[in-house]
Structure 1
Amino acid sequence: MRLAALDKSLDTLLLTEPDEGLLLITLNRPERANAMNTAMGEELIATFSALEAAPDAYRCVVLTGAGDRAFCAGADLKERDGMSDAAFASQHYMFERMMRALLSCPPPLLGAVNGAAYAGGLEIALSCDFCFASQAARFALTEVTRGIMPGGGGTQHLPRAIGARRAKEAIFTGEPFTAEQALAWGVVNRLCPPGHVVEEMLATASRICSNAPISVRQAKKSIDNGLQADLRTGMLFEIEAYYQLIPTEDRREGIAAYNERRPPRFKGR
């Protein structure tokens, strides 16, 4: 099921298919705590643009980092050292496009936060539909300690996840918070023993893959778009999304499987 656009060799990402319909993307710069450099940003844009162009290629995507130390430490500050203002702005615009590409992923995008998620790394995690985290993970938006501010969605996603007052404290101080706090505040859905977060997330992703893929994609669209509107408008969007499922083979298969007391065999049609 591999997309042709993803068959090229990648320098900063590792793409694998642990199961049919399931894509695992690993940020693969462990020597730099999986920090985002220009190459990683460009490769993430290319990868997620290919996924957006072929929405039925995969039923679920899991994103993690290489090793047990870091999910992603944010932008690679060594690469940024000495950059001109113009070069810095150009790179950041590329990172903005990268974040928009993550948000446009048609199937569920699930984060397996295996270690520290700092600055842009936390913003990547917040761009996922939901995340599991290692009990050893730590989280922070540290940008104000480096003379900038969150610029990859952090000031928007974090308040929506944990509330404005907690988010302001985290962003204004730049101080890290623990995995236990991330769970209590709703940044992550589950904590896993160190070394097991990818395994547990892949099990959840496989469960999602067993469901009707068009149904899951339509539900994701309904949630994401409805949250940007008032309740009545969101409910109208939901109904429009729902009616797209009535003529599908999968809708008929789901009913037939229930009545025949067998597991459904969804084909994404």
Structure 2
Amino acid sequence: MSKLCGGKFQTIELVSFRAVVTLTRYSAKGGKSMRLEGKTAIVTGGASGFGAGIVGKFVAEGARVMIADINGDAAADLAGTLGSGALSQPVDVSDAGSVQKMADVFIRALGPLDILVNNAGVTHFPTPLEEVDEDEFDRVFKVNMKSVYLTARAFVPLMKTRGAGAILNVASTAGLSPRPNLNWYNASKGWMITATKTMAVELAPSGVRVNAICPVAGETPLLKSFMGEDTPEIRAKFLSTIPLGRFSTPEDMGNAACFLCSDEASMITGAALEVDGGRCI
């Protein structure tokens, strides 16, 4: 982590598993106001990959963020790196009691929630749809789908009472342009996109916005799970389907998430933004 205390810019480098995120921001003193200044946020699955990119960007833009992750140690390490703008909380997003405990701890520590990011997600290895076993199927649907219901149940009533809030669901291009042998993962992300739109319609009168981002595969701990085998040949084949010619990064997701959760996007709800280098064109 490097700082330029007397100037306008600060650079933070976060290393989380295989994800390296570099963020540059204006300081509050002498620079422009930060886009999420004064906001509070939760990012589930925030200790690594896309989640770490979102957390880092939010903190850099002035938010106070709870890093909620099933890997409590990794969440605590990242919070320690980020300093006073972040705190950590272990959570199993598929378990109602664990999600409610997360909500209780958040409210005691940070007060009302402004931004909820449902980022936690899992997949199954590329497998013919009929060969995915029931336990694996249940795990994908509980983490990718049930978690959105559980966090909504914990936080939406408070957002409706306040008449404000932003919810962001991290879906996938797999929910828009499915690939073979990831059938049940594809379906879970398609569900998330539809849930985003139905939540947006229902919550708009209460002042709560709901959007989604749809990443293409990126340099995160889940990449090997999507490809099945990580070889130069398989990477080249996958990259050939992305017009911009690269995998997505945690920083890409942080930038997209920050915009959709900021006041700059106050007229946007129900959107499923493709952050995919053109793959879904």
TM-score (structure 2 length as normaliser)? 0.31
Structure 1 or 2: more helix by fraction = 1
Structure with the larger RCO, 1 or 2 (CA within 8 Å, 6+ apart):
2
TM-score (structure 1 length as normaliser)? 0.32
